[in-house]
Amino acid sequence: MKEAIAIVAGYVIGSMPWGLWLPRALAGVDIRKVGSGNTGATNVWRNLGFKLGLGVAVLDIGKGAGAALLGQWLAGDLFGALAGVGAMVGHYRPLFLGLARGGKMVATTGGVGLALAPIPFLCGAAVWIAVFLVTRYASVASMVGAATLPLFALLFDASWPIVAFAAAAAVAIVLLHRSNIARLVAGTENRMELRRRRRPAAA
């Protein structure tokens, strides 16, 4: 029973669309009508600036970590990972958005990993930062960082549920970036800016 509670709770926690709620509360913007329409931190950063994007990322990391810690506390590593998967699914198809499209799970995945295997996932985060600073493509950084997660999990002798979670998360993140891959191949993917350009004042 408690295992099922962990997974369902993980999904509900993951369904909290901070990428919608925070911009709406602080900037009066419905992020679903801006840019890619994605409620993830990258779309918020690209269109509303670094500070709001960072706030959304921190909250998305927090919900992944919270779900995983709850599952781990209730039933161990396996259900910590499964509750984390629930949070990722909730982030992608949030209950609070009527199962409409949410985000691409990168920050939420990082939160799950940070809770269950801090060192491997901090190493993956370092890879994300390095790739992003070199390329300025959040999509490339996300895919490369995700691909290293199972390798770091193995390197640091994580338990098998965490290694399996890392591998499955890496595959899911790459699949959810299919449109980004197509734009990268076509040369139309947008690079991120650390500072948002100021919009010209209305006449």
**Whole-number pLDDT of residue 42:** 83
Residue 142 lies in a domain: yes
Residue 181 lies in a domain: yes
**Whole-number pLDDT of residue 165:** 85
Residue 165 lies in a domain: yes
pTM of the model as a whole: 0.78
**Whole-number pLDDT of residue 98:** 87
**Whole-number pLDDT of residue 202:** 41
**Whole-number pLDDT of residue 103:** 81
The single-letter DSSP state of residue 38 is: -
CB 69 within 8 A of CB 61: no
**Residues 137, 138, 143: CA angle, nearest 5 degrees:** 100
| Host domain of residue 126 | 2-186
Residue 116 lies in a domain: yes
**Whole-number pLDDT of residue 176:** 85
Residue 46 lies in a domain: yes
Cα 133 to Cα 194: distance, rounded to the nearest angstrom: 10
Cα 42 to Cα 34: distance, rounded to the nearest angstrom: 12
Q: Convert 15-63 into a string of H (helix), E (strand) and C (coil).
A: CCCHHHHHHHHHHCCCHHHCCCCCCCHHHHHHHHCHHHHHHHHHHHHHH
Residue 201 lies in a domain: no
- Which two structure tokens, joined as six digits, stand for 118? 């801090």
Residue 198 lies in a domain: no
Number of domains in the chain: 1
Q: Which residues of the chain have pLDDT under 50?
A: 197-203
**Whole-number pLDDT of residue 63:** 93
- Which two structure tokens, joined as six digits, stand for 190? 């947008």
* Residue range 94-140, pLDDT digits in tens: 998 888 888 888 888 888 888 988 998 899 889 999 999 999 898 89
Residue 94 lies in a domain: yes
